[in-house]
Structure 1
């Protein structure tokens, strides 16, 4: 009978060129490896087991992504007023309280005030219920050699700026030295993470279940902004709020982040308890 027509294959190339079977075999060896003399030696690689804490972190992060309806909304904050306060009173603050005044206490207090105004952001799902916790225990994400952990700052609403600063420094030191206990990592209603210490300009922080929201701080950059019709250079920071849409609607999330922005840009409201 007539010879069988040679088979054809379409190469995985943008041109879509069709090759005859014998042409294809000239490119690929029977084993599927490039048809060249010899084979490249295997690249050296290192394999090591994941630490228990890294395995736990991986499990929690995957669970957070798979079990929540997470969204992120963004804003930016002008830190001019906070920087002026630190420059004017920072030295006296350090002399009196024994700690330097950083930026984080302003955001902790701003978060507490915003949570008071929009309690839905601090609510947590329990079965078919939403649980509102009548306290303001704020998680502070800390990067350690063993991974990211989140110790909890208890009753932040009752603490002064100096007490918040001291408490933050204490939990950070304990976290990095491996001295934190399990109860110190439990019970927070909201978390703050600061990627700005590593130079991050903007990111989408991941939720810390069972919490329903997390605030991401970022690097401070001098940028041109419009102030009353004029262009000025201001110290600006992007803020990101990741939230669980099952608990928090977009209007609440955007309003909450706007409240944090307002409090940080006008720290006198917090300092004078207005």
Structure 2
């Protein structure tokens, strides 16, 4: 018999959740074929079978938490005779970052007609449930037969199924029709845990300023068509803010640091995290070496990371090692907020919506497009002078964007 063992996933990941079994007991599996998908704090990983044979037994159910090194399945010959010695931990194919299927109170027809045995990603199953589509009727593009989100979308919308009497393990539980109870996804649990840890383990303060966006908006308007023609990527505000942040971090290095015990680690690199909202929660992939990238390279990297987030293809490497984070609540209409720092970082910049307001320009009052910005920081490392100076420098650079262009 060959054992399917939870492999080493990443340095900081010691456990995961069985998201779905791709092979059921009694089904055959080829050597190197995916047998189970695990959900971790950051990404999903698919584990392959080291041996060809028949899946004899699952030792963990979908939804169970499993540890690195734990045996979770047995693969053997069809007759049950010994097939192979226990294998080493199966290699991991690092795949999608999970946008967790939101629990629902009804069961789609897939469970009534056997399509629960269809190999499909969790996101595809979620979409199929929402659209009332029988997964068994979906034609996958994947040569291995796995149904992806795009396959479900291409299939179209089918009639909704009637609610089943009992909700499955992953579904919400409706109590007396007045409340809906749902289990937090692993990612949501991780987000909640880490945000609470940051609040409890840091001396977090937030300082605010406002930026007159007139000049940067005018520059962007003048250059956006030429920029797109030359670089095949649109010129947004994020490249300006990323460049301004990098310049400010170089002047105020303690904002680009972290605490390790009784030591402060000053980072001499500038991997800027960009917060991206997904259906499964907030993810923060990094623009690596942002100081070495020009405007087009920064914009292109952000577009690529956002697409990977939407397609559930972010990797652990995309989201580890950042030194500072930028989050833009303005895309949702937020006027002002106090962002919470990301992981071990000691600073995060919050951007907000651009709103026209009357402001004093000299002795006159003019209507200007204004944006509130916020810097949340760890007061154990960063003093008020540095935090205010950092945010003021970002403000000045955005209000004088030519300085950013010359500096890049």
Q: Which TM-score applies when normalising by structure 2?
A: 0.56
CA distance in 2, matches of 1:42, 1:179: 39
CA distance in 2, matches of 1:56, 1:115: 28
Q: 2:359 is matched with which residue?
A: 225
State whether structure 2 residue 394 is matched by structure 1 residue 260. Answer: yes
Q: How does 1:53-68 map to 2 (within 5 A)?
A: 53-68=187-202
- Which of 337, 353, 358 is the equivalent residue of 1:203? 337
Give me the whole-angstrom Cα distance separating, in 2, the residues matched to 1:268 and 1:55: 43
Aligned partners of 1:234 and 1:267: how far apart in 2?
A: 16
1:13-56: CA deviation from partner (whole Å, max 9, x where unpaired): xxxxxxxxxxxxxxxxxxxxxxxxxxxx9552211211111111
Match of 1:182 in 2: 316
Q: Are 2:346 and 1:212 equivalent residues in the alignment?
A: yes
The superposition leaves residues 188-238 of structure 1 with CA deviations (integer Å, 9 ceiling, x where unpaired) of 110000000000000000011200000000000111111121111111000
Tell me, in whole angstroms, the C-alpha distance in 2 between the residues paired with 1:273 and 1:195.
Answer: 27
What is the aligned-residue RMSD (CA, Å)? 1.3
Q: Runs of at least 4 residues of structure 1 off by over 3 A? A: none
Q: 1:249 aligns with which of 383, 392, 398?
A: 383
Distance (whole Å) between structure 2 residues aligned to residue 185 and residue 218 of structure 1: 23
Return the alpha-carbon distance in structure 2 between the equivalents of residues 273 and 243 of structure 1: 26
Which of 156, 161, 170 does residue 295 from structure 2 map onto? 161
Q: Aligned ranges for residues 1-274 of structure 1 at < 5 Å?
A: 44-273=178-407
Q: Distance in 1 between matches of 2:254 and 2:363?
A: 36
Count of matched residue pairs? 234
Structure 1 unaligned blocks of 5 or more: 1-40
1:100 Cα offset (Å): 1.1
Q: CA deviation at 1:176?
A: 2.0
> With CA pairs under 8 Å and 6+ residues apart, which has the higher RCO, 1 or 2?
1
Q: Return the structure number with greater helix share.
A: 1
Provide the rounded CA distance (Å) in 2 between the counterparts of 1:239 and 1:46.
Answer: 37
Residues of 1 paired with 2:310 and 2:377: CA distance? 27
